[in-house]
Amino acid sequence: MDTVIYIKRYVSFFLTLLTLLAFCLTQAQQKSLDFFLDKAKENAVSLKENENLLKIGAIQNALIIAQNQDFKIDATSEVLFAPFFNSNGRAIDITTNPSNNAYGYDAGITNGGLYSAQINITKNLFNGAATDNLLFQNKLKNEAITLSSKDIFHNLEKNIIDNYILVYQYQLQETFTNELKTDLEKRLQVVELLVKRGLLSESDYLLIQSNIDSKNLELQQIRSSINQAKTQLYNLCGIPLENHNTLEAPLLKLNDKQDTFFFEKTFKNDSLQILADKNVFENQYKPQVSVYGNTGLNAIDAKNIPHNFGVSAGIKLKIPIYDGNQKKYNALQNDLKQETLEFYKENKEIQLQNNLKSLLQQIDDLQKNRQLIESQIAQQQNLLEIFKGKLAQGQTSIIDYLNVIQNYKLTVYTKLQMQTNLWLLYNQYNFINW
């Protein structure tokens, strides 16, 4: 007795273990929507490009500071010969004091030559405001890249969800068609027995078999559609195609209405960029002060080079006075750009609100229609069961039975399409409500 109980417990444990293992294997073969979205975020080339652009933008900050606030040190060298001909009784003479009958450049211009080798140092002073304008401009450019990355992924996310929904719809069609085919195969066995008893004709058997063949062809077409849609889905995510897995149901819901929409952030950044460009343009109207110095050789007479090593330093001030009203014209252009942005922003706001309102109405209508068709499906299922019973007794024609199945199939397909459309509307609403 104890041995029998032990064996029963062992068998029960073994069956439980097999059930858990089968469940785990099924789950491992299923892919969720989050899986594809995460992979797309990892592999999107445009996002990677923008990451590098942000790094370039960070380097640009250092470049702006180096260009405008750091010392500039360079080395220059120049050797110039300006000889005189027929000077001081010589055919060619390099001198700063040519004779009156000599031929050559004016000595007051060339000094007879130049021998220069210097190290030069320059630095801009009091240009912190101009530098800040350039840094602010670059910051907004980097912010535009960040916003672009968000927009790229948002569009990619919508396309992935749409494709995911399409693949899942085909999966549901495949499952339902398989169920119909399995049921027809069972009916075929019943019809075969009824044919043998003489209650139905062989043509009835062939009608059922023909319908099963049609279901096999339909399954092939559905699987081909699944492969095409799945290829598109995997391409969007940038991952190798896997044919031996199924997708989990897309758990979509409507997001709460946003207080601030994404397009408002982009318009704000665009508006600030116009202001930043204006400030950078007006940097040239700020007084510019720079100091400079050099040391080295600077001589005009080769004989005196050892005595011509020295240093020099100075300060340079530049104050803009008049440029033909360029500053005024630039300001007018920027005002018009800001005005144009406001036009687009107001129009975008109206379109967004109208689209959200329309989508909510479509969703509400579709949910009501789905309730009606679910009631219709329940009635057709009851009718189908009645016809199955009559068929088993040979009390109905095969054509009537197949017509009931066809009507049931069309209604279920309509329900699947409604569910798909509802998910797509959810996705479209969330895409706009962002």
Q: How far apart are CA 40 and CA 164, in angstroms?
A: 13
Q: 3-class secondary structure for 343-365?
A: HHHHHHHHHHHHHHHHHHHHHHH
- Strand (E) positions, 60-163? 72-81, 84-87, 90-93, 113-125
In a domain, 295, yes or no: no
Q: Decide: 127 and 288 in contact? Cβ < 8 Å.
A: yes
Residue 421 three-state SS: helix
- Phi then psi dihedrals of residue 92, to 5 deg: -130, 130
Eight-state DSSP code of residue 114: E
- 8, amino acid identity: K
> HSE of 412 in the Cβ direction (CA atoms, 13 Å)?
20
State how beta strands 246-247 and 30-31 pair. parallel
Half-sphere exposure of 53 (CA within 13 A, CB side): 18
Cα-based torsion angle of the residue sequence 108, 110, 111, 113 in order, rounded to the nearest 10 degrees: -170
Q: Which of 38, 64, 203 is nearest to 124 (CA)?
A: 64
- Classify residue 13: in a domain, yes or no: no
In whole angstroms, give the CA distance from residue 300 to residue 105.
Answer: 14
Contact call for residues 80 and 113 (beta carbons, < 8 A): yes
Kindly state whether residue 270 falls inside one of the protein's structural domains.
Answer: yes
The answer to whether residue 5 sits within a structural domain is: no
* Helix/strand/coil for 269: helix
* CA 166 – CA 169 distance, rounded (Å): 5
Neighbours of 375 (CB within 10 A): 10
Q: Which two tokens stand for residue 339?
A: 């005005």
CB 297 within 8 A of CB 309: yes
Alpha-carbon distance 44 to 237, whole Å?
7
Looking up residue 227, the CATH number of its domain turns out to be 1.20.1600.10
Residues 6+ apart with CB under 8 A from 48: none
The continuous run of DSSP H or E covering 293 comes out as strand 288-299
Give the separation between CA 345 and CA 378, rounded to whole angstroms: 49
Strand partners, 72: 122
| Cβ atoms of 390 and 400 closer than 8 Å | no
- Show pLDDT as tens, one digit a residue, over the chain (434 residues): 455 454 545 545 544 544 454 444 444 478 999 999 999 999 999 999 999 999 999 999 999 999 999 999 999 999 988 888 988 888 888 887 888 888 988 887 777 788 999 999 999 999 999 999 999 999 999 999 999 999 999 999 999 999 999 999 999 999 999 999 999 999 999 999 989 988 889 999 999 999 999 999 999 999 999 999 999 999 999 999 987 789 999 989 999 999 999 999 999 999 999 999 999 999 999 999 999 999 999 998 888 899 999 999 999 999 999 999 999 999 999 999 999 999 999 999 999 999 999 999 999 999 999 999 999 999 999 999 999 898 888 888 899 999 999 999 999 999 999 999 999 999 999 999 99
Tell me what pLDDT residue 24 has: 42
Q: Assess if residue 148 is contained within a domain.
A: yes
Range of the domain at 210: 31-70+126-286+326-432
Total domains present in the chain: 1
Can you tell me the distance from the alpha carbon of 57 to that of 131, in angstroms, rounded to the nearest whole number? 15
Grouping H, G, I as helix, E, B as strand and the rest as coil, residue 246 is strand
Could you tell me if residue 312 is inside a domain?
no
Q: Which two tokens stand for residue 408?
A: 């049931």
Type of residue numbered 392: A
Of residues 201, 188, 169, 170, the one with CA closest to residue 405: 188
In a domain, 427, yes or no: yes
Strand partners of residue 85: 92, 103
Q: Is residue 101 part of a domain?
A: no
SS3 content of the chain, % helix, strand, coil (to 5): 70, 15, 15
Write down the pTM of the prediction. 0.83
